[in-house]
Amino acid sequence: MENQKISLKKISLIIVTAITAVLLGFLRDSVFKSINALLRAWDLDQDFFLPKYLSFLENYEYNTLVNIKWLLTLLFSFLFLFLSIFALKLLFNSKKHIKITIFTYFGIIGLSTIFILIGLVWPGQSEKMYEFARFLMGMAQSPIILMILIPAFKLSEKEKTKSSNE
């Protein structure tokens, strides 16, 4: 009976974590699309009204909003990292898996930083490098990494069990 309570609690936490990941993804998408639309409207000298929860951003200058986007990119990446760690603790409770996840996120952030720096050093490549960096950071700001790691860790555990039984 107690195992059923634990598993029911665990299942509930997994469901709440999944819903949180989806809602966080929608929030991130809404915030970035709104900021991008505002910046585009300013570029074209048009009016654009942000959603009420973001209306305070209209008071900032263009370059400040661009810098805020960089900060938000890191913030959302770290929020998804912590959400991934929480989910993996629920599913596996393995320090090894947590370390792999942390290294994966920091690897993606580091690789994105390298692409941006290459674009700054060689301006002719900046657009392509920015696209690569943006793609990678988009992965870090979504549940995609978690969706890749969970099956990989499950397969790894299955192989470990299979090889120890032989």
How crowded is residue 75: how many other Cβ atoms within 10 Å of its Cβ?
13
Q: How far apart are CA 29 and CA 25, in angstroms?
A: 6
Q: Are the C-beta atoms of residues 35 and 57 closer than 8 Å to each other? A: yes
Q: What's the structural domain count of the chain?
A: 1
**What is the pLDDT at residue 123?**
87
121-140 pLDDT, tens per residue?
998 888 899 999 999 999 99
**What is the pLDDT at residue 161?**
75
pLDDT at 4 over 80: no
Instruction: Kindly state the tokens that stand for 56.
Output: 């305070």
pTM: 0.88
142 belongs to a structural domain: yes
The total number of residues written for the chain in this structure: 166
166 belongs to a structural domain: no
Residue 122 region by backbone torsions, left for phi larger than 0, else alpha for psi between -120 and 50, else beta? beta
- pLDDT, average across residues 105-132: 92
**What is the pLDDT at residue 126?**
87
pLDDT at 5 over 70: no
138 belongs to a structural domain: yes
Q: How far apart are CA 2 and CA 103, in angstroms?
A: 35
Domain enclosing residue 136, as ranges:
2-156
12-58 pLDDT, tens per residue?
999 999 999 999 999 999 999 999 999 999 999 998 889 999 999 99
Which amino acid belongs to residue 7? S
